[in-house]
Structure 1
């Protein structure tokens, strides 16, 4: 996974990227749907 792809689905990031902070670390995802998936995974951990 590179810096230019979504942390959830590996889709290329564009200007619509969403930053999400999980466990003190900020990661970027491609959309709000992936942001929600990441938040839910962070809460489950």
Structure 2
């Protein structure tokens, strides 16, 4: 059986995962705190790439 880990903190995922869309791809995280952190990081990188164009 394949073990899956959180895209943000590398903790092992349980039954209650949260899916977050980042750059058109879906990743799974272990909790809402990790989901918020990834969304904020994605928005930050998206905003900086737009301002450089």
TM-score by length of 1: 0.90
Whichever of the two has the greater Rg, that structure is 2
Runs of 4+ in structure 1 off by over 6 angstroms are: none
Specify which structure has the bigger relative contact order, considering alpha-carbon pairs within 8 angstroms and separated by 6 or more residues.
1
Unaligned runs of 5+ in 2: 46-53
Q: How big is the alpha-carbon RMSD for the aligned residues of Structure 1 and Structure 2?
A: 1.5
Q: Which residue of 2 is the match for residue 16 of structure 1?
A: 16
TM-score by length of 2: 0.77
Number of aligned positions between the proteins: 44
